[in-house]
Amino acid sequence: MIRILIDGDACPVKDEALKVAARHQVPVLIVSNTWHRIDHYLVEQMVVGQGADAADDVIAERAGAGDVVVTADIPLAARCLAKGALPIDPRGRPFDEANIGMQVAMRDLMKGLRETGEITGGPSGYRREDRSRFLDGLERLVQAAKRLSPSASRL
């Protein structure tokens, strides 16, 4: 059985992910540096130590083939893709083998430009259209993962 792993800190779509999980009866693991007030029978929460990559390391370690990973972290998405997981960002853009290289390169370029002061802004604000695109993208990934997944649960 597949599961949804969520990079929980600063994730704006936890509620939407839970709606999709409930519709498909898919277990959810939320990994974060702080506890979130989520009481749902499909959810397991894991609070990890404070550290830049503590949650990412746990998610990358636990993600398996066919699991869906919700994260805006491009290096984490790349690590999960390498294990056969299906990462998607909170704006509904799935990461895949065809686009991850460009995503990593753009991330590194933008980081360099911010460090030199060439660019001072971050991503645009989160909009209702992003939320809708995420719901649609997550629904599609979960359906695809269910078609490909063995029936044993790993949670």
Position 152 scores a pLDDT of: 40
Domain with 34 in it: 4-148
Q: Is residue 134 part of a domain?
A: yes
Q: Is residue 155 part of a domain?
A: no
Beta bridge partners of 28: 4, 43
Q: Is residue 154 part of a domain?
A: no
CB 110 within 8 A of CB 117: no
Q: Is residue 135 part of a domain?
A: yes
Q: What is the mean pLDDT of the chain?
A: 87
DSSP string covering the chain, please?
---EEEE-TT-TTHHHHHHHHHHHT--EEEEESS------TTEEEEE--SSTTHHHHHHHHH--TT-EEE-S-HHHHHHHHHTT-EEE-TTS-B--TTTHHHHHHHHHHHHHHHHTTS----SPPP-HHHHHHHHHHHHHHHHHHHHH--S----
Mean pLDDT of 31-36: 92
Is residue 151 pLDDT above 60, yes or no? no
> What's the domain count of the chain?
1
Sign of CA dihedral 27, 83, 62, 54: negative
Specify the pTM: 0.83
pLDDT in tens, 81-128: 999 999 999 999 998 876 766 676 665 666 776 678 777 666 678 789
CB neighbours (10 Å) of residue 9?
15
